[in-house]
Structure 1
Amino acid sequence: MALKVIGAGLGRNATFSTKFALEHIGFGPCYHMAEVFASARRNVPLWLDVVNGKPDWDAVFDGYESTTDYPACSYWRELADYYPEAKVVLTTRDPDSWFESVSDTIFSEAMQGHLVGTPTGDMMQGAIFDFFDGGDIRNRAFMTDWYAKRNQQVIDTLPAERLLVFHPKDGWEPLCRFLGVEVPPEPFPRVNSRDELQHANSEEEGMAKTPEEAEAFGRRYIDELRAKAFRS
């Protein structure tokens, strides 16, 4: 199964909402960082191979038709080359809002600190943090400038007919038109606010430390958010 949609938007850019939206209109299952955790014993070694320059994209995305979120979004260029028929969706938001969101959630010491030196920590270092080229992820000016330049690079690299720059507030119409499918009657899914992720993190006392804990967390988190996704 080849990927049909590649999510180039960085984490904390409505990637969970977009995951559920893509699945709802026929482009699922959709890969997301939560899926990495949900099958951590299988997925983390595959991503460590990616980090070490030995990607097996067919194995990584076996059974999936689309992607959103980290770690796949870090490799948007490689995936666009490997799956030349796939369309690319770049979810965006205000750079300062993105910086505040990632700082309070997925880049926070509370979530990342205890992963240092573990396979999951090594994966996240290579697939996320190394892309900042040694810049200070706590520095607002550096991060917002990096964010804007990175998104512009996606826009400048891909042909317009292959790329949709998108925000869920735009609703179903632009996404469905871009992908050539009917607009569903349900409201566009809205999930995974900062408060929800921080609450999940506080319950877990940081990102899960063992593969077994990671898998239990990932499966539970996906199921809980899917149940909320289409509530109006």
Structure 2
Amino acid sequence: MKVIGVGFGRTGTMSLKQALADLGAGPCFHMIDLIMGERKVRDLPYWVRIADGEPVDWNEVFDGWNATVDWPAASKWRELVAAFPDAPVLLNVREFDGWYASCANTIRAVKLAAQAGELEPDANREEPAPELWGVIERLIWEGDFQGRFEDRAWMRTMYDERIEEIRATVPAERLTVWSIGDGWQPLADMLGVAAPPTPFPRLHDTNDFRVEFGLPALA
């Protein structure tokens, strides 16, 4: 593994996925790969086992991948940091209010619409496998968020404490902290390569996410 991304989703992870590939650290695993990726049939059963608390061989789980960002892997950051001790660790962060609003308008909105049967089928859009909904529920909603997403004050504390816990756990020389707007340079420095002259990728904003899952864009 060339990079272990340990920050939550909705912090620019789709842009990071593309950027890491552009810097030579791909292919990079991301939640989207369990929805519509070419390897989803191979990869999803591992994450079902992980969400069920079963032991796995992390080298086997990530066979064929060189990096990871986003959930579900970020929920198992401690295990991954330990399993790949030579890999640099990327802590992708965002200010809390923007992050919380993005989660509410994307992953939370999709979850509620799916539960209410309001996601209209679309032949041009791949639907998440039923097993993936369970993985997301166990690792994110009941795992990281402990069933308390609507408690904004608790979520703020949890979010800040997760970041501080990672900072306290991962040696500084191994850790790169990156936020939206930092662009190429911290990632290039982490990997020991030159930063490209091209604009940094800007992918999968809130409305892109909503439309992709069959929800209306926000005004």
Q: TM-score range by the shorter chain?
A: 0.7 to 0.9
* Structure 2: runs of 5+ lacking an equivalent: 118-126
Is the counterpart of residue 41 in structure 1 residue 53 in structure 2?
A: no
| Deviation readout 1:110-136 (Å, 9 max, x if unpaired) | 455269x94222211222122246342
The alignment-based identity, stated in percent, is: 37
1:61 is aligned to 62
Q: What is the one-letter code of the residue matched to 2:18?
A: F
Give, as a single letter, the amino acid of the residue that structure 1 aligns with 2:47: W
Rounded to whole Å, the distance in 1 between the matches of 2:215 and 2:7 is: 27
Counterpart CA distance in 1 for 2:178 and 2:145 is 26
Report which of the two has the higher share of helix. Answer: 1
Off by >4 Å, runs of 4+ in structure 1: none
User: What CA distance in whole angstroms lies between the structure 2 residues aligned with 1:54 and 1:91?
Assistant: 27
Structure 2 matches for 1:1-232, cutoff 5 A? 3-37=1-35, 38=37, 39-51=39-51, 52-108=53-109, 109-110=111-112, 113=115, 118-132=130-144, 134-202=146-214
| TM-score normalised by L of structure 2 | 0.85
CA 1:111–1:186: 2 relative to 1, 3 Å: farther
Query: What secondary structure sits across from 1:99 in the alignment?
Result: helix
Higher mean displacement: 168-177 or 71-80: 168-177
In 2, are the aligned partners of 1:18 and 1:168 still within 8 Å (CA)? no
Q: Which amino acid aligns with 1:120?
A: L
Structure 1 residue 199 displacement after superposition: 1.0
Conserved? CA contact 1:112–1:121, under 8 Å: no
- TM value normalised by structure 1: 0.80
Structure 1 gaps, min length 5: 205-232
Using the TM superposition, name which of 182-191 and 12-21 deviates more: 182-191
**Structure-2 separation of matches of 1:169 and 1:122:** 33
Q: 2:42 and 2:114 mapped to 1: Cα distance?
A: 21
**Matched residues, number:** 201
What value does the CA root-mean-square deviation take over the aligned residues?
2.1
Maintained 8 Å contact 1:9/1:89: yes
